[in-house]
């Protein structure tokens, strides 16, 4: 992979050099036209990258290299530890801005340029590849497939259409996208074709056991201890579940912010719960809230009402402390949202 800012000196830096002309109207042939017509690409995804963002960036990077293109992979945040063993992961540059010369910027699983927290992207021809319900057509070219289990599945389809080679490295990266975005083949858009895809990836060299071990069975002990603190406080009432950790807990258990990722999902996993909230006291005393719902409650609307945002089923916001006050405030909003649901 090329390093950032290695633009050829003959051309002005920091802009897209090409205009793309399309013969096809289907998204995959059009994406292929962009990839074939361009020479230099930058591939980005969202902040706090997850398995789909990391895996799909890496797989698309491998495909572009197979096509003889130059590609930079850039993320604004560090790659979480459980994806650090993925092939080629060190090629992902951590940066806050993009300034090289590229024919196009390819944005994976983002609903806006802002979602990347990378400055400078507006100068480039933008390709948006996403599979979220909340996906938005913000780019020059948009391909949103809400039935795809992961953006990795979409990259896989591009790879097949391009006549690329499914190497063991690419297969491993794509397998991670499918595994994590379906919660281990449990949810999302899982269907028969998902298993056909997984089979193809395993046949090409992805190691399902090794990958599952990295992703699900390599947690730091501090992650489980902080989870334990939160679970001890789990409270369920009227379709809502909530739990929290204090800054003091974080210090005592030597837990990191990454250790607290995903705690909210345990609250949501309780039977008869419609929505869950996890509160984490920040060092400066403000409170970070993660909201989740199983579908009926629009937690994005709740978060927006509190100055935050997100997706219908996964959202967040930051409130002033102290913690009991923030809890009281979010519960008032959530109870109002649950009260609007049809009787169960």
Build a one-symbol-per-residue string for 142-161: x at contacts with Mn ion by CB under 5 A, - elsewhere: --------x-----------
Is 52 a residue that touches Mn ion (CB under 5 A)? yes
Strand partners, 93: 74
b or e along 248-286 (b: 16 or more beta carbons within 10 Å of the residue's beta carbon)? ebbeebebeeebbeebbebbbeeeebbbbbbbbbeeeee
What's the min distance (Å) between Cβ of 3 and Mn ion?
Answer: 27
Q: Interface with Mn ion by CB under 5 A: which range of 87-95, 105-113, 304-312, 332-340?
A: 105-113
User: Are 307 and 316 spatial neighbours (Cβ–Cβ below 8 Å)?
Assistant: no
Backbone angles phi, psi at 179, to 5 degrees: -60, -50
**3-class DSSP state for residue 81?**
helix
User: Tokens 């000196």 label which residue?
Assistant: 9
Is 111 a residue that touches Mn ion (CB under 5 A)? no
Q: Which of 109, 114, 112, 116 is nearest to 93 (CA)?
A: 116
Q: Interface with Mn ion by CB under 5 A: which range of 48-56, 90-98, 232-240, 258-266?
A: 48-56
Q: Determine the Cα–Cα distance for residues 250 and 223; give it in Å rounded to an integer.
A: 10
What's the min distance (Å) between Cβ of 51 and Mn ion?
Answer: 8
By beta-carbon proximity to Mn ion, the closer residue of 72 and 109 is 109
Which residue's Cβ has the minimum distance to Mn ion?
A: 52
What's the min distance (Å) between Cβ of 34 and Mn ion?
Answer: 21
Q: Interface with Mn ion by CB under 5 A: which range of 45-53, 91-99, 116-124, 156-164?
A: 45-53
Is 103 a residue that touches Mn ion (CB under 5 A)? no
By beta-carbon proximity to Mn ion, the closer residue of 188 and 321 is 188
What's the min distance (Å) between Cβ of 152 and Mn ion?
Answer: 8
Q: Which of 276, 280, 290, 287 is nearest to 235 (CA)?
A: 276
Q: Of 206-235, which residues contact Mn ion (CB under 5 A)? A: none
Q: Determine the Cα–Cα distance for residues 216 and 265; give it in Å rounded to an integer.
A: 14
User: Are 267 and 240 spatial neighbours (Cβ–Cβ below 8 Å)?
Assistant: no
What's the min distance (Å) between Cβ of 40 and Mn ion?
Answer: 26
Is 181 a residue that touches Mn ion (CB under 5 A)? yes
Q: Interface with Mn ion by CB under 5 A: which range of 41-49, 51-59, 135-143, 204-212?
A: 51-59
The contact set with Mn ion (CB under 5 A) reads 52, 109, 150, 181
């Amino acid at each position: 992979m090329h390093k950032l800012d290695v633009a050829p000196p003959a051309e002005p830096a920091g802009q897209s050099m090409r205009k793309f002309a399309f013969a096809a109207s289907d998204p995959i042939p059009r994406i292929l036209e962009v990839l074939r017509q361009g020479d230099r690409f930058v591939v980005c995804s969202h902040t706090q990258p997850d398995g789909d963002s990391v895996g799909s960036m890496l797989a698309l990077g491998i495909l572009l290299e197979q096509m003889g293109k130059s590609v930079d992979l850039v993320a604004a945040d560090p790659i979480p530890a459980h994806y650090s063993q993925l092939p080629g992961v060190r090629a992902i540059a951590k940066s806050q801005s993009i300034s090289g010369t590229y024919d196009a910027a390819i944005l994976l699983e983002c609903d806006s340029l802002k979602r990347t927290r990378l400055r400078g992207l507006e100068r480039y021809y933008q390709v948006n590849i996403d599979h979220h319900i909340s996906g938005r057509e913000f780019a020059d070219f948009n391909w949103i497939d809400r039935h795809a289990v992961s953006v990795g599945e979409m990259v896989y389809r591009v790879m097949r259409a391009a006549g690329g080679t499914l190497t063991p490295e690419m297969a491993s990266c794509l397998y991670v996208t499918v595994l994590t975005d379906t919660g281990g083949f449990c949810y999302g858009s899982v269907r028969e074709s998902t298993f056909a895809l997984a089979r193809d990836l395993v046949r090409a060299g992805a190691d399902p056991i090794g990958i599952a071990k990295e992703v699900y069975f390599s947690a730091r002990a501090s992650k489980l201890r902080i989870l334990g603190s939160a679970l001890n406080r789990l409270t369920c009432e009227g379709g809502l579940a909530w739990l929290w950790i204090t800054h003091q807990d974080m210090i005592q258990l030597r837990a990191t912010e990454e250790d607290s990722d995903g705690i909210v999902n345990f609250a949501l996993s309780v039977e008869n719960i419609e929505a869950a909230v996890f509160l984490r006291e920040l060092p400066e005393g403000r409170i970070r809230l993660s909201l989740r719902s199983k579908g009926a409650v629009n937690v994005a609307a709740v978060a927006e009402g509190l100055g935050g945002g997100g997706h219908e089923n996964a959202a967040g916001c930051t409130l002033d402390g102290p913690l009991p006050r923030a809890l009281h405030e979010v519960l008032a909003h959530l109870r109002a949202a649950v009260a609007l649901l049809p009787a169960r």
